[in-house]
Amino acid sequence: MAGKGLRERLAAGPVICAEGYLFEIERRGYLQAGAFVPEAVLDHPEVVEQLHRDFVHAGSDVVEAFTYYAHREKLRLIGREAQLEDMNRQALRIGKRVADESGTLFAGDICNTNVYDPADAASQRATRAMFEEQVGWAAEAGVDFIVAETFSHAAEAKMALEAIKSAKLPAVVTMAIHRAPVTRDGMTPEDCCKMLADAGADVVGLNCIRGPRTMLPLIERIVAAVGVPVAALPVPYRTSEKEPTFQSLRDPNCDCLPSEMPFPVALDPMTCNRFEMAEFAKAAYALGARYLGVCCGAMPHHIRSVAEALGRKPPASRYSADMSKHAFFGTDRTLKPKNQAYSREL
């Protein structure tokens, strides 16, 4: 599929997109939880480049430039606003390098601004300007399309879409749905996605916040409501009806958390395993979703599972588990029977 654009690839089959760079680079020790600004782009570019490679190796069809939260409001918050353009251009340079060498799609990325206020016209002007500057840098870097993600307000997502359409680029727009199954401005996910599709989005759907179990029912309704490919990129956490989002998850087995909330850095025990993410990918595909991935919390083995569940064999599949050669649990005829017999004692 190298050389083909987003629309052509979607016409030929599902597209896989790894997200969740903030969480994974935080775990690797190069980014601070809390402010969650992609400072690693400037301070440790080799770490960002390696993670792009890891995700592509695991089956991602898209290299998403790490410009999530590389926007004016976030950089102001940490006192690095003067480096806004450098951070964006560097993230785009890194992403393009990996996309070019691997024949994957190269995507720009914009997201919730945290300044947008439906009751404040000045905040809306600021929001639009933030989108326009980031989209402009992405367009100059030669992206194949732009992801606009993690919006809680339908109207903010529409503004992001308008900025992308003004740059004449394809747009993937995904909403973040919190505990209440509606946007913060009161639209159902399906009505919001239909509005975005009607306004020209090439792909619409959901990302982040909800795990597979609490995102899939919403995806089904979106697929029924729109005529464009639908995106589903949950967080890899075991959310439930009672705790539908990763912020609402609690961990009754741990009493040493700094607050009652394991979000964002102590969600490990609630992490979906690779089999659960494979089940998610099969279920989302069966419901009709065609742009699949994993958001905050994603690790390369999750992406490989999604890819394999869709019938792919990415380079990382060479190392997919094969327990037949395990010293104790294996079945290989050259293994020591004494160890195999001892396996029940392990």
Binding residues vs Zn ion (CB under 5 A):
208, 295-296
Least gap, CB of 107 to Zn ion (angstroms): 15
Cα radius of gyration rounded to whole Å, the chain: 20
* Alpha carbon distance 68, 309 (integer Å): 27
Least gap, CB of 204 to Zn ion (angstroms): 17
Residue 12 or 35 with smaller CB distance to Zn ion: 35
Report which residue type is found at 228: V
Residue 56 or 296 with smaller CB distance to Zn ion: 296
Tell me: cis bond preceding 264? Omega within 30 of 0 counts. yes
Burial of residue 256 (CB within 10 Å: 0-12, 13-18, 19+) is exposed
Residue 20 or 314 with smaller CB distance to Zn ion: 20
* Among candidate residues 202, 80, 73, 70, the one with its CA nearest the CA of residue 134: 70
Q: What are phi and psi of 40, to 5 degrees?
A: -55, -25
Helix, strand, or coil here: 124? Answer: helix
Least gap, CB of 157 to Zn ion (angstroms): 15
Residue 54 or 132 with smaller CB distance to Zn ion: 54
Least gap, CB of 234 to Zn ion (angstroms): 9
Least gap, CB of 205 to Zn ion (angstroms): 13
Residue 124 or 305 with smaller CB distance to Zn ion: 305
Residue 225 or 267 with smaller CB distance to Zn ion: 267
* Alpha carbon distance 272, 299 (integer Å): 10
Least gap, CB of 320 to Zn ion (angstroms): 25
Name 219's Cβ contacts closer than 8 Å, sequence gap at least 6.
205, 206, 230, 232, 284, 287, 289
* Alpha carbon distance 269, 252 (integer Å): 10
